[in-house]
Amino acid sequence: MAAGTPASVRTGSLGVLEQAVLDAGYDFTPVLNHLHDLGLRDPSWTVKRSLAVGLAHSSFLYEHTDLLPGVTRGLLDTLHGLGMTYVWRRAAIRGYQQLPSPLTAGALSKHASNVSLQVPGWAVQQSWLLRSCRLSAGLVGKPVPPGVAATVLRQLVGVLCVLDRQDVADRLLESLVVDATQSDAVTDPRTKLQVLLGKGAPTYEFDREGPDHDAVFTAVATDTLGRQGFGKGSSKKSASRNAGLDFISRHLPHALQVAAHPGSRRETPGEIPGHAVHASAVRRVQDLFALPPGSRPLLGQALVHASWEYEQRSVLMPLHQQDNQALGFIGSQVLNFEYVLAQARSSVHSPPDAFFSTSVPNTVYDSALRLAGLAPALLLGVGQAAKGIPVEVGSNAFQAVIGAVFVARNFPPSLAEEWPLEWRTLWPTLIPEASIDTTTALGKLASGMQLQIHYTVREYGPDHGKQHRATAVLTSSLLQAAVSAREGEAISGKKVARQAAAQVVLDILDALAGRQPAKMLATAPEGDQSVARFILAHQAAALTRSTIPLPRWISGQLFGLHWAASSEALLEWATEADQLMTRAMSFEDGISSFQRAFRAARDAERADDQARSIDLELSNLLSRIQRLDDPEALTGDDLQRLVQLCDIYRCMGTDDPDTALADLIDDWTLLHRGRLNITGSPDKPDAELTGRERAVLDALASTLLKTAGTASVEILSSQPLRLRFNTDLDATQRQAVDQTCKLWAGVTRTVTITLVHQGIEATIAGTHAPSARGPIIRAALTALRPGTEPYLASVADLLHDLKNQVTAARTAASTPATSRTARLEHQLTASRHLDQAQALAIRLKASTSTLSYDGEQATELGPFLRTYAATVLTRLPGTISLSIPDARRAVHIAIGERTLRAILDNLVGNAIEAMPHGGAITLEWTADDYEAVVEIADTGPGVPPDILNALTSGERIRSTKPGGNGLGLLGARSLLTRAGGHLAAPPTASGTTWLLTLPVAPAPSPETS
């Protein structure tokens, strides 16, 4: 990680971008397909949610804040500003590459401005964008205004930049920039057409739409032969210009090609001779940024003022040299982009209410020129040298140096990656929001994995030129060992030397976080490899011996947990990690701990948006049942929805055995004889299906048969396994089948369901198991298999009971009565069953809606527990006492208040119910640097042994309370596991004691003084 790389990129998350909801009705496919073609392959759900924010217009945000939690208008405007800045930078690059000599700042600015002006007209022609952008109800179904399309496009580009995918953004904008470059060559298309066609030149007709403050003009250019061109713009002038350009591109494309290349390519400039201070500064910048010798003419040009160029024109012309104005423009675009990118990265964590477009003042750049020691090297004319270096001149010179470095580096995505350590103190001044402290970044990571870091510094050299080298020393109390990393590079200053030493360790962590850590470290120095094995062994020990702050480990990319969402990536990382680990020590006993961590990370990274469709369906159905007053209002559709949800939750809550595809087909042939036709080759692929995969395929087959009566299934391919269920469906039937597909798509991540014209396609992504069988790969393979979910199985049980009550209510309400008394008895029975169904619905909704994970939020434990206990006292029976814990010191835990309150409500509520005749409840807590433990004790009869055994073994809990279902304890344990904690009930002589172990939210490590 280079000196300018923002720490948030390495240690943080994407903030509110990763919280967006992809609702079931949102068609995300067009933009995903387009970005896939541009190089964004297999994006994670975090990336998909981030893109969904970029595709949301502010009008959509106003109506759907629930789908964009935490997102503000200010954040959208910040992303828009970032996208606009990136378009300008991209246009400046293309102008620098293609505009003829002499290259001026004015020509570059005009070119970039023209590209920016073309964005609305270009964006409104991108069908993939129009089909996937999220607009308000008032805009849906109408032509998308060019300004709206341009806004969404710029926001999308901004998100890609935040994701560090400028390569995709470049390809996305390529055709826009190329078209604009060609059109820029034709400054006045109307005049150009008159020259080319004479009396046959087009005439123009205009149409206007939209309100006065946002009018859009459409122009049609038609020549005497009937040929036409079309264009839109905010005025008649811009609309006619665009129509003229469209006419030329359609019917006279050669005119654009000739105009776009009027001259020859620029000559390569030569080095500027005869100025020792200037040449020395050029070489210093070259060495700082590790540039090739061929970059020196460009770096020299950056330090040439226009006044000197005017006086020395006879010297510069044979060298094809010029002043620094053009490079100054390039540098300004580069620095503007870095500045707004830093703002955007900050805004995703703390979304602003409004975005204020600001820039770094010239005084900052002028100061940077002097601090970098480049001011004496700036070549000035005689008259200008007598006046000194004004702020504007110094500012442009420094920006020109940055522009020259950017060009010499072949236009990298960001200069943050290229920024030298010697200039690291300049970066926070130039890019305030991107200030980097590698020791703090390393301290955060080390604190999260319980690793101690300290630094040793040695100095050498004369007093006037002392140099410092620092070494990071890593100490593991878990391994009872320590290791010293390789020394950082020699540098002046102890603080900067420690930062260089921290960078050595961060680079090792980056290698360990890669998908192929063993290969990435194979060419590293032996010392780096030893440190990597030490860190990996320490991480393994931390997983086996204590709780971890799971979200921090995922975002910090520790122990491969960030790869958990991808089966292929996780197995590849685990295979290579085993190669490193077996050379360090054996962790055979840690396999179960690794497996739990991988599974918890996989759950945390799961496709929540698909699973949310199931939760939403359950919530909607329970709400409907709660609102009913008449049993006769219960419909067959209500019953079918309950049956389907019961099947889905039971499937997710159990682990059925694997089955062969051939056996499944044989079962279908027998079960659906005459209705489901198996077509294609008689040879069945030798494929194994998990229990959940089979359940999904069974559900799809049953749904089509129930809807259409008959269907056929065809095996399209075996690698991956792809099946198509074919049948004829009308519009109503397709809508019902589509809802079923959306629900079952959330059951397992290995099956992708697509509704096609002929029916349904299901693709099953198999996992190739590596031949190696080290402890980490075995843990990963186990974690990838669907596991039992007692909590979801208990939900399925309750849904089954609810289904029985709904069935009984409908049966009683529809049974013919032979007398008035019998009819009243039937109504009474139906009402009684409806009351019981509604009671079950209330209990089920309470259990499933409050216990939902609220992400990685930090809670200060002491004050929260005191406030919580005070709230409990207000509803506590007079016969029960409650101790209120002290807030002894500030400890933040990596779990949100809402989640913690839901867990405590369940445990404290159980304690109150267990002591109807009175007793005492005690709340206590303690914490060290890594974990906090909350103790909840009561003087009741204690927890039955079978419940404790079930909780320990992971089996389903059968509640002993009347009407109880065990959902509370199971939900509490599930939430704690996802946050990296756990729930335990240690043996006690009397009463019940629960221990909640919670990971401490890591705090930055202070710099060693």
Cα-based distances in Å from 758 to 678, 710, 714, 730:
15, 13, 11, 11
Position 575: which residue type? T
Average pLDDT score over residue span 105-118: 87
Q: Answer with the residue of higher pLDDT: 998 or 605.
A: 998
Secondary structure letter of residue 546 according to DSSP? S
Average pLDDT score over residue span 307-331: 91
Res 769: pLDDT = 67
Res 29: pLDDT = 87
Main-chain phi, psi angles of 650, to 5 degrees:
-65, -40
Q: Answer with the residue of higher pLDDT: 886 or 33.
A: 33
For residue 920, give the 3-state DSSP assignment: strand
Nearest Cα neighbor of 34 from 23, 26, 43, 44 is 43
Average pLDDT score over residue span 165-190: 80
> CA–CA separation, 190 vs 248, rounded Å?
10
Q: Answer with the residue of higher pLDDT: 220 or 742.
A: 220
Q: pLDDT > 70: what percent of the chain?
A: 88
Res 358: pLDDT = 67
Secondary structure letter of residue 271 according to DSSP? P
Strands of 428-530 (E only): list them: 452-460, 467-476, 481-484
User: How many DSSP H helices and E strands does the chain contain?
Assistant: 40, 20
Average pLDDT score over residue span 775-787: 85
Structure tokens at 444: 């955060």
Dihedral (Cα; 846, 850, 852, 857), 10-degree rounding: 180
**Long-range CB pairs of 960-968, under 8 A, 24+ apart, other chains included:** 961/913, 963/843, 965/794, 965/797, 965/798, 965/843, 965/847, 966/790, 966/794, 967/791, 967/794, 967/795, 967/798, 967/847, 967/848, 967/851, 968/847, 968/851, 968/906, 968/909, 968/910
> CA–CA separation, 894 vs 853, rounded Å?
12
Res 214: pLDDT = 65
> CA–CA separation, 571 vs 587, rounded Å?
18
Nearest Cα neighbor of 1 from 484, 419, 532, 285 is 419
Q: pLDDT class for 354, splitting at 50, 70, 90?
A: low
* Window from 263-272, 601-610, 822-831 with minimum mean pLDDT: 601-610
Kindly tell me if the per-residue pLDDT of 607 is higher than 50.
no
* Window from 211-215, 293-297, 416-420 with minimum mean pLDDT: 211-215
For residue 717, give the 3-state DSSP assignment: strand
362 and 392 Cβ atoms separated by less than 8 Å: yes
467 beta partners: 460
Q: pLDDT class for 610, splitting at 50, 70, 90?
A: low
Handedness of CA 511, 512, 514, 517 (dihedral sign): positive
Cα-based distances in Å from 103 to 89, 99, 188, 226, 256:
16, 7, 21, 40, 21
Q: Answer with the residue of higher pLDDT: 614 or 85.
A: 85
Cα-based distances in Å from 229 to 199, 245, 385, 683:
17, 8, 55, 57
548 and 999 Cβ atoms separated by less than 8 Å: yes
* Window from 159-168, 242-251, 634-643 with minimum mean pLDDT: 242-251
| Number of Cβ atoms within 10 Å of the Cβ of 290 | 10
Res 847: pLDDT = 67
Nearest Cα neighbor of 775 from 558, 510, 560 is 560
Q: pLDDT class for 260, splitting at 50, 70, 90?
A: very low
* Window from 377-381, 441-445, 524-528, 786-790 with minimum mean pLDDT: 786-790
Res 139: pLDDT = 84
Q: Position of tokens 């320990």?
A: 952
Kindly tell me if the per-residue pLDDT of 357 is higher than 70.
no
> CA–CA separation, 547 vs 541, rounded Å?
11
Average pLDDT score over residue span 821-825: 90
679 beta partners: 714
Nearest Cα neighbor of 498 from 427, 431, 441, 419 is 441
Average pLDDT score over residue span 368-383: 87
Structure tokens at 394: 């110094």
Sketch out the chain's domains with CATH numbers: 15-186 (1.10.1520.10), 194-250 (3.30.160.20), 276-434 (1.10.1520.10), 438-601 (3.30.160.20), 655-787 (3.30.565.10), 851-999 (3.30.565.10)
Handedness of CA 531, 537, 543, 547 (dihedral sign): negative
Structure tokens at 181: 């470059």
> CA–CA separation, 647 vs 637, rounded Å?
15
For residue 748, give the 3-state DSSP assignment: coil
Q: Position of tokens 């931390």?
A: 542
Res 734: pLDDT = 87
206 and 219 Cβ atoms separated by less than 8 Å: yes
CB-based burial of residue 611 (10 Å sphere; 0-12 exposed, 13-18 middle, 19+ buried)?
middle
Q: What is the mean pLDDT of the chain?
A: 84
Residue-wise pLDDT tens digits, 722-759: 899 999 888 888 888 888 888 898 888 788 888 887 78
Res 857: pLDDT = 60
Q: pLDDT class for 612, splitting at 50, 70, 90?
A: low
> CA–CA separation, 953 vs 226, rounded Å?
80
